């Protein structure tokens, strides 16, 4: 009787052990099988989410086939406390093992925001405030010229303040590097003055190839103690965000701290956030005898060393303006087109 009972118990234990071993081996195979996902999907694992809720979220999104199996494998592998929050994109057919590894490595979605060169602070703040995935508040005020415009990588959940701090550090690093390699005998007393002039160059031309030449003109004028006579500085003094009209003679004569037709120096601060190319152009300007430039009708500028030559260039530009106006005039159903404002920034009135 006892022998029969002992034999029965051994049989039951053997069966149970076989079931456990079989289940374990099956689970090891199952967690490496392709998952049920048929289309790429993105999910956000929020900070503080526990293992059970992570597993449930992944199962609800069809990323894993079984939330309990996901929890089992996370615990078995000792990775249940290493799953990290963030935004994750999962491709079809990811196994549970691959999903766990992705969360452990924090292989999150890379997001990007581009800050164009030449914006003022309020325009940059609008971009940052509207950027999806950034959280928290941002500084109420940012001085123009203290951020570096470029494309920045960020992740869901990054703070706006942290991104702005990175932009400020990037500007400081860029300016320090370029200032250290500056050309000799520049009429700039400090990196801050370089930023002021770089902002003017940034607003004067959108052509990368022209920036060193435009910078050379302004450097020449500073050396000769000539007024810069830059239209963008006048505009900034009236409204930092720009004007919806052409400048008038009265504007050019208005005494503001930024009107370089009136003041005999650089403005007191940058009129925008210039990019690296404009800073580099100011600190390594073209060696030129030019003192003037005006729009040439092709999107660039005509440069001149003498006022007489410059006046000829201005006359040519005025003909182009007049031609543009004449072409627009016959259209009866449309309002008369405004000619583009002249880029004859350094000029005598």
Is 138 a residue whose pLDDT tops 90?
no
Residue closest to 129 by CA, chosen among 142, 145, 144: 142
**Does 339 score more than 60 pLDDT?**
no
Residue ranges of domains in the chain: 32-109, 112-171, 188-328
Residues 188-234 have pLDDT tens digits of 999 999 999 999 999 999 899 999 999 999 999 999 999 999 999 99
- pLDDT for the residue numbered 30: 77
3-state secondary structure of 291: coil
Average pLDDT of 47-76?
94
Looking at domain 32-109, its CATH class is alpha beta
Q: Which of 267, 261, 280, 270 is nearest to 216 (CA)?
A: 280
The upper half-sphere exposure of residue 251, i.e. CA atoms within 13 Å in the direction of its Cβ, equals 16
Q: What DSSP designation does 106 have?
A: T
Mean pLDDT computed over 305-318: 91
User: Could you tell me if 121 and 271 are in contact, meaning their C-beta atoms sit under 8 angstroms apart?
Assistant: no
- 250 dihedral zone (left: phi>0; alpha: psi -120 to 50; beta): alpha
Q: What is the pTM of this model?
A: 0.80
Strand duo 86-90 + 111-114: pairing: unpaired
pLDDT surpassing 60 at residue 249: yes
Q: What angle do CA 346, 324, 238 make, to 5 degrees?
A: 40
């Amino acid at each position: 009787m006892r022998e029969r009972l002992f034999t029965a118990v051994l049989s039951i234990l053997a069966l149970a052990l076989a079931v456990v071993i079989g289940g374990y081996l099956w689970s090891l195979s199952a967690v490496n099988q392709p998952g049920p996902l048929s289309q790429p999907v993105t999910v956000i694992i929020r900070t503080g989410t526990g293992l059970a809720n992570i597993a449930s979220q992944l199962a609800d999104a069809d990323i894993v086939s079984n939330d309990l199996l996901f929890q089992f494998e996370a615990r078995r592998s000792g990775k249940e406390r290493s799953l990290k929050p963030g935004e994750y994109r999962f491709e079809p057919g990811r196994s549970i093992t691959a999903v766990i590894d992705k969360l452990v490595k924090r292989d999150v979605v890379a997001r990007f925001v581009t800050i164009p060169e030449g914006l003022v602070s309020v325009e940059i703040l609008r971009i940052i405030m509207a950027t999806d995935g950034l959280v928290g508040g941002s500084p109420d005020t940012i001085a123009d010229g203290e951020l570096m415009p470029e494309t920045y990588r960020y992740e869901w959940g990054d703070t706006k303040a942290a991104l702005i701090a990175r932009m400020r550090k990037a500007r400081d690093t860029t300016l320090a590097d370029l200032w250290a390699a500056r050309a000799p005998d520049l009429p700039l007393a400090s990196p801050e003055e370089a930023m002021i002039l770089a902002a003017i160059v940034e607003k004067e031309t959108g052509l990368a190839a022209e920036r060193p030449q435009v910078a050379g003109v302004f450097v020449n004028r500073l050396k000769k103690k000539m007024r810069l006579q830059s239209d963008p500085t006048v505009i900034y003094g009236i409204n930092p965000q720009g004007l919806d009209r052409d400048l008038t003679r009265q504007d050019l004569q208005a005494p503001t701290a930024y009107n370089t037709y009136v003041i005999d120096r650089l403005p007191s601060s940058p009129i925008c956030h210039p990019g690296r190319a404009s800073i580099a152009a100011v600190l390594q300007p073209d060696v030129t005898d030019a003192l003037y430039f005006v729009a040439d009708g092709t999107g660039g500028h005509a440069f001149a060393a003498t006022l007489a030559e410059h006046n000829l260039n201005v006359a040519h530009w005025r003909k182009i303006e007049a031609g543009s106006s004449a072409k627009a005039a016959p259209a009866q159903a449309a309002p008369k087109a405004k000619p583009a404002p002249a880029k004859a920034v350094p000029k005598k009135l």
